Structures are given as structure tokens and as C-alpha cells.
A and B are shown apart, each in its own frame.
Chain A
Amino acid sequence: MILDIYKDSLEYSAKDWKTLVILGVICLFSFLLLPAFLITGYNYRVINNAVHGVINGRDPLPDFNDVISMFIDGVKVVIVQILYLLVPIIIFLIFALIAMQVNGFASSAIMLIGAIITFVAFVVVELMIQIGLCHMAYNDGALSKAFAISEIKEAIDEIGWFKCIATLLGLIIITLVIFSVVSMIIGIIFSAFGFSTAVLGIDPTGIFVLGVTVNFLISMFIVGPYLCIFNSRSIGLLYTMQV
């Protein structure tokens, strides 16, 4: 079933390259702060579509209309993420404070235990964030539903904790693989060009600079948005797996 999710999401994200370019342009301007929220808002819309759709259904990619509500959705997503992520941060800070009080071997032991607990908390919280966002989208965007912990826990129980964590892990691996493969291919092509010009006796610096630029542009305008949509779609579909 997990493979079905990946297959559907990979196809879904590749439906319309214009969307990817538009997302890339928004990403380019995200240093102006407002566009950054538009990106998270668009991801939320993808989740929303996925949550209300079915696997292998013919859902279209969401439009870019109604920018203001997209912005508000993005703000909601960011608020949910920050509030959840406060939990592992606070746990870590508490352990760090305790470790500062004692010295010697006990200090590093406490720090180690603290780091492990923080990591576990981080994984759980990350799962809660993703499923919580889906739960929020499923309930017409009520912000309180993103923090209805017992309901979210029920949803995760029904999907299965192992399955959820496996899906997230798979997402991370696929993201990293696609990213590195694409940049590797471009890198190989341009270094081949560069070395051949160097053999011919021409200065190859320009070619390498061009290669880095092309790499950057492609990962910003095509690969980055593609992976964003892919991740959101997968999480949304994962939520629909509950019985």
C-alpha cells in the first residue's frame, strides 16, 4: 500500500510543470516573508485535495487563485508546526539545564539520555504535525483540530504507527535520492564538458560556474517544488489509509 502512495504522488506532482515553475518563482521571492507563507499554504492545499480524494484518483493540482486564503492557510500551518516543535526543544533545554548543574561523567550521561529522548519526541512530534495537518484539513481547516491530540492519536493508531514512520522514512529517503541523483547527473554532464574543454586547452572556469548555476536553478524551480508537492500529497494520502 505504501508503494501505491509513492507511485500516485510521484505521478501527481509531475502533472503540470507550470505549477512547479510558479512555485519556484514564489520560492525565489520568499525572502520577502509573505511568499514563504504562500508556499506552505499551497502545500496545505495539496494536503487538502489528497485528504478529500482517493489513491489513484484523478485529482487536479490546486490552483493559485484566492491568494489571501492561501496566505492564511500558510500561517496556520506554520503556527501548528512551531507550537508542536516547541515540545522537543523544551525537553532538550530541560536536559541541558540539568546537565549543566552536575559535572563529570554524570553530565555526559544525562546529555546522552536527553538527546535520545529528544530524538524520540521529535519523531513522534513530526508524525503528529503531519497527521495533525491532515486532520485539520479534513475538518474544514479548524485550527483547534490540529491540536486535538487524542483524535490525532486515534488516527495514527488506525493507520498503524509502524506504517506511518516507515512512510515518513521512505519519504525522506526518496527526497534525498531524487535530489542527489538530479544534481549528480547535471554535475557529471558539466564536468564532462569542463574536462573536455580543459583538454582542448581552454579555460574551463566558465563552464563550471554555469554548471553550478544550472544546478541551482533546476533544483529551485523544478526539483524543489516537485518534492514539496510529492511530500504533501503522500502525507495526505497516508491519512486516508485509516479504516
Chain B
Amino acid sequence: MPSITDCVVEGLKYPFNDIKKLLVFGILFVIFDLLSLAFSLKTLDITRIVMGTLDKTNATTMGFSQMPSGDVYLAIAILIVGFVISLFIMGYQYNVISFSINRKDDLPGFEDIVGMFIKGVKYFLVSFVYSIPPMIVAFLAIILTTNSSAWPVIIIISVLLMIICYFFLIMALNNMVAHDSLKKAFDFREIIDNISNLGWGKYVGTVIFTAIVFMIINMAIGIIMSFLAVIFAATINNQAIVISTVLSIIQALFVTSYCSVFFNRVSGSIYRESIK
């Protein structure tokens, strides 16, 4: 039997099968990144204006009507558009998992935009539901223990819970994609069956291994990007926003899309191994 790390090797090679589609997927990430950059710039503007007004009037609070309304609406609009784009991204990831489970070697296309959107909503819903338990615990930690010293314990519990939920989430997403029904994402008996079929140690080990490879790639790219940033900063003066935009475009176009396809491909292969 081949080693399970062969899945990781296969997943790393997979995005190279069709670079064009990978780049189209990368463009989605570029739009998303630019929107989040614009959003943070807008919020910065708004905070600046708010602080300025507070300074002038010597007040400690201000009404919503006093806020720069155009900017606020623009920021909210950017937020919504960004969310929609991220739904498309999730839909594509859904397709990647489905191709991986069905052993298709090419990358999914972009013909069925509406289907992609619906799949993205499903993907988002499942990820959201699985992140509710740790959020509740973290929320309790903030509300209940503002004055007591117990909060580090609760934060640690919340982080542990988040990791456990994440391990279930991967298998739940796979299960949902394989049967193409939202209900299967919460069929805990089948999820646990699948994982114990593969072996808990092996499952956890593979996911951690994939995560380590993921982190190494990102760290290496980060080092290269910081070199690029130094080079750009040395040649172009006083253009921090331009530099960070260019770098984030490069990163989103090539790296983030690659890593995302890679991770979802591997998680699909884990499911494929587990039902064997």
C-alpha cells in the first residue's frame, strides 16, 4: 500500500495540470484581496474622520448621523461584494473537492457560475455551523470573565475546541461533497465512521502534515515577498500602498490560489482513502 503522503505529493502536482484555470481562480482571489485592501483603507478613513470630529467637539460619543455617511455606505458595500466573491471562491473549492473524490485529473471549470454560487453558500454554511461551538465558548470567556483570572483557561479550551471542530469540518465537507447533500455534513455517525475507517492517528497525522507543508510554502513565499518588498521600496519612494497592492496581487494570483487548490485536493483524497 502506498504511503498516505503520496496524496500530498499528488495534491502539490495537481494545480499544474491546468495553469489557466488556476490563474482564473487566482483572479477571484485578487479581486477579494483588493476589496479587503479597499475596505481597510476606508475604515481607516472613517476612523480618522471620527477621531477628528471627536477632537473638535470634545465629545466622548457621537451619533450615527454624524458619521461620514458616504464613506460608511461605501465600506458596507465593499464588505458585501467581498463576501459574495468569497462565496464564489468557496464554491470553486467545493468543485475541487468533488473532482478529487471522483479522481478527475483536470481542474474544474467556470461554466456553471450559478451552481458555483449555490455550492459556495453550502460550503459557507457548513464552515459557519462548525465554528459556532468555539465561538460560543470564546464569547462566554469574554462576557463572564472580564474581571477574573480564569480567562486564559477558557481561551485555551476555545482554541482546542476550534482545532477539534476543524478536524471534523474537513471530513464533514468531504462527506457533503461526496453525497451532494447538505444533510450529510451533519451526519456525525458517518463522519466518525469514515475517520475511524482510515484510522484516527493516520487522519490527524495527514491533516497536520498537509498543514505543515502549507505553512512551509507560505513561509517561503513570505521570505521571497519580503525580499521583493525591499527591492521595490528601494526603487520607488513613498509609495507604500502601491507596493503592498502589487505584492498582494502577485501573492493572490499565484500563491493563495495554488495553496487553496492544493489543500482541498488533499482533503478530497483523504476522503477517497477513507471510503476504500
Using a CB–CB cutoff of 8 Å, the interface residues on chain A facing chain B are 31-34, 37, 68-69, 71-72, 75-76, 79, 140-144
- Cα A33 to Cα B226 in complex, Å, equals 13
B5 touches A141 (CB 8 A): yes
- Cα A33 to Cα B201 in complex, Å, equals 28
Contact partners of B5 in chain A: CB under 8 A: 72, 76, 141, 143
Decide yes or no whether B135 CB sits under 8 A from chain A. no
Minimal beta-carbon separation of A66 from chain B (angstroms): 8
B216 touches A33 (CB 8 A): yes
A33 touches B205 (CB 8 A): no
- Apart from A68-B12, A75-B212: 19 A-B pairs, beta carbons within 8 A: A32-B223, A32-B224, A33-B216, A33-B220, A34-B216, A34-B220, A68-B13, A72-B5, A72-B9, A72-B213, A76-B5, A79-B209, A140-B2, A140-B3, A142-B3, A143-B3, A143-B5, A143-B209, A144-B201
- Cα A144 to Cα B219 in complex, Å, equals 26
Using a CB–CB cutoff of 8 Å, the interface residues on chain B facing chain A are 2-5, 8-9, 12-13, 201-202, 205, 209, 212-213, 216-217, 219-220, 223-224
B216 touches A75 (CB 8 A): yes
For the complex of A and B, 6 pairs with smallest distance between CB atoms: A33-B220, A34-B220, A69-B9, A142-B3, A68-B12, A141-B3
A144 touches B205 (CB 8 A): yes
B216 touches A79 (CB 8 A): no
Contact partners of B217 in chain A: CB under 8 A: 34
- Cα A79 to Cα B8 in complex, Å, equals 15
Contact partners of B224 in chain A: CB under 8 A: 32
- Cα A68 to Cα B9 in complex, Å, equals 6
Closest B residue, CB atoms, query A143? B5
Closest B residue, CB atoms, query A74? B216
Closest B residue, CB atoms, query A139? B3
Instruction: Among B202, B212, B219, point to the contact of A79 (Cβ < 8 A).
Output: B212
Contact partners of B2 in chain A: CB under 8 A: 140
- Cα A95 to Cα B65 in complex, Å, equals 64
Contact partners of B3 in chain A: CB under 8 A: 140-143
Contact partners of A76 in chain B: CB under 8 A: 5, 209
Minimal beta-carbon separation of B256 from chain A (angstroms): 17
Minimal beta-carbon separation of B246 from chain A (angstroms): 20
Instruction: Among A72, A142, A144, point to the contact of B8 (Cβ < 8 A).
Output: A72
Minimal beta-carbon separation of B138 from chain A (angstroms): 30
- Cα A34 to Cα B202 in complex, Å, equals 25
Contact partners of B201 in chain A: CB under 8 A: 144
Q: List 12 A-B contacts (CB under 8 A).
A: A32-B220, A32-B223, A32-B224, A33-B219, A33-B220, A34-B216, A68-B9, A71-B12, A76-B209, A140-B3, A143-B205, A143-B209
